[in-house]
Every structure is written in C-alpha cells, then in structure tokens.
Amino acid sequence: MHKISISPEARELMIKDGKDTFPNECCGFFYGQDGEVREITLAKEVINSKEGDQRRRFEISPLAYMKAEQYALENNLTLLGVYHSHPNHPAVPSVHDLAKAMPYFSYIIVSVMEGEFNVLRSWRLNEEKGEFEEETIF
C-alpha cells in the first residue's frame, strides 16, 4: 500500500475548501516530494470549472493545470495529485473519478456531510487492475 504524509496546513486547506464550497464540489492540487512516503507539503485551491451541476462534478481547466505544473517546476516541487470534495457522499472514488484517473497522481477526497467535515481519504490508480487503491495517510 502506498504511503503519504500530509502537512497540517495542506490538510486544513483541503478541509476548509470542502466546507466553504459545500454543497458544491471543491477541487485543487497538492505539491511536495515523492519518495517511499509521498510527502505533501502544500495544497492550493483551483476553481471548479465544470459547467453544470457542481454538486456532483468537478473539472479543472487546462490553463489551471498548466499553471500548476509551472508552479511546481518554478518552486522545485512535484505536482503530486488532485483533491476534491464529495458533498454528502463518502470519501470513496466514484466511477466518474475512476474514468478520469491519471496514473501516478494521488487523489484525495474530502467527504463533507451537511457542511461539516466528515473524513479525508487518499487513493491512487492501480493501472494494471484498473482500479483505485487506498493510500495510507500518516
């Protein structure tokens, strides 16, 4: 099982974004260094650019993605993955999450129930199996 650590600041930002955006889905990127334990040191919010029902969908614009890659390069960080919230749903990837999953990235899901933080879990795509595997958070 893959292991990740999340700095308190990054964790707090993702939770706050999930609560502030409720009942819509929030989304963003996180950065840090990869290794035996993937270390997330920074998270940054991104506008949910999904046109339509943002209560159950999110989308990140290509421009926002390019800026995230650029930010990582300029700050000697690695873009490690994407977070988003599941309003009134568990922190488990949906079929839509799986359909859009990229290799390598961690996918952190923040479950927010009726506006209150519920749980945060992290997942990574197993390309061979075509399914998500949960990561252990330290």
Closest by CA to 90, choosing from 65, 112, 72, 115, is 112
Tokens of 133: 């595997």
Nearer to other proteins, 12 or 55 (CB): 55
Residues 46-75 that bind other proteins (CB under 8 A): 50, 55-60, 62-63, 65-66, 69-70, 72-73
Q: Is 130 in the site for other proteins (CB under 8 A)?
A: no
Determine the length of the chain. 138
- Tell which one of 2, 3, 16, 89 touches other proteins (CB under 8 A): 89
Residue 122 near residue 106, CB atoms below 8 Å: yes
> Burial, 50: exposed, middle or buried (Cβ in 10 Å; 0-12, 13-18, 19+)?
middle
Q: Which residues bind other proteins (CB under 8 A)?
A: 25, 27, 50, 55-60, 62-63, 65-66, 69-70, 72-73, 78-80, 82, 84-89, 93-94, 96-97, 99-105, 107
